């Protein structure tokens, strides 16, 4: 699904993050899994998207552009977090780590805004789903709009939280929001599956 340019850019970000992680292991003379957390996140998210896209059917050109933006922007944000981690360990930044984290979180929220607004306008992705979650073409289009605007709302909350919520509460808030969003999406899909829609 990702084109060659997107793959090269994402690979460059991942390699840079891995190089930074290995460098920190050598610098601190101590192994820590957290150093490899961000490159692992990129590989999981991008790999998951590639796996899903490979099982879809139809014209995927619009989805390819959406997926390319997702992969590149997510890799860039994770690389920013990795760079902040390296700079903090090496003590080469004059800004407090919390300020840098808030800026990166705000960028993540902006990414969600763009992806959500874009997703709401995409054509339904034809892919296999369990019978209980399968919808017709109209239902899938309605679900895409719902998921898109849910992402937009999530992005707005993330941006607001980046500057207004105490750092100690941001992670629990995001975990709670993610679980709530997943539940809401499943409920909405279940509702649409019970509503007669033209296929």
* Residue 14 in domain: yes
* Residue 12 in domain: yes
Residue 130 reports pLDDT greater than 80: no
* Residue 175 in domain: yes
> Which carries the bigger pLDDT value, residue 93 or residue 185?
185
Instruction: State the pTM of this model.
Output: 0.85
The parent domain of residue 177 ranges over 4-193
Contacts of 179 (CB under 8 A, 6+ apart): none
* Residue 22 in domain: yes
* Residue 92 in domain: yes
Share of the chain above pLDDT 70, in %: 92
> Which carries the bigger pLDDT value, residue 159 or residue 86?
159
The count of domains in the chain is 1
* Residue 74 in domain: yes
Spatial CA neighbour of 170 closest among 78, 103, 115, 113:
103
Give the angle subtended at the CA of 81 by the CAs of 85 and 40, to the nearest 5°. Answer: 100
Contacts of 142 (CB under 8 A, 6+ apart): 135, 192, 197
The pair of three-digit structure tokens given for residue 62, joined into one six-digit string: 């619009």
Residue 199's pLDDT band (cuts 50, 70, 90): very low
Q: What is the mean pLDDT of residues 92-121?
A: 88
Residue 94 reports pLDDT greater than 70: no
DSSP letters along 170-184, please?
HHHHHHHHHHHHHHH
* Residue 43 in domain: yes
Spatial CA neighbour of 120 closest among 154, 157, 75, 162:
154
Lowest-pLDDT range, 53-62, 76-85, 146-155?
Answer: 53-62
* Residue 45 in domain: yes
Give the angle subtended at the CA of 85 by the CAs of 6 and 83, to the nearest 5°. Answer: 35
b/e for 21-32, b at 16 or more Cβ within 10 A? beebeeeeeeee
């Amino acid at each position: 699904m990702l084109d060659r340019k997107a793959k090269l850019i994402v690979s460059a970000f991942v390699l840079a993050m891995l190089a930074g992680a290995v460098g920190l292991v050598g610098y601190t003379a101590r192994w820590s899994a957290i150093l490899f957390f961000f490159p692992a996140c990129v590989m999981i998210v991008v790999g998951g998207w590639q796996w899903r896209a490979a099982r879809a059917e139809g014209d995927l050109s619009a989805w390819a552009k959406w997926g390319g933006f997702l992969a590149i922007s997510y890799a860039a944000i994770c690389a920013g977090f990795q760079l902040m981690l390296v700079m903090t360990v090496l003590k080469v930044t004059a800004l407090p780590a919390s300020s840098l984290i808030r800026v990166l979180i705000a960028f993540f929220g902006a990414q969600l805004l763009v992806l959500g607004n874009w997703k709401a306008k995409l054509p339904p992705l034809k892919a296999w789903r369990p019978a209980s979650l399968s919808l017709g073409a109209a239902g899938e289009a309605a679900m895409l709009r719902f998921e898109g605007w849910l992402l937009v709302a999530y992005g707005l909350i993330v941006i607001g939280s980046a500057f207004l919520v105490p750092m100690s509460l941001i992670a629990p808030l995001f975990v709670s929001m993610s679980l709530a969003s997943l539940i809401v999406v499943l409920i909405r899909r279940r509702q649409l599956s019970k509503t007669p829609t033209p296929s």
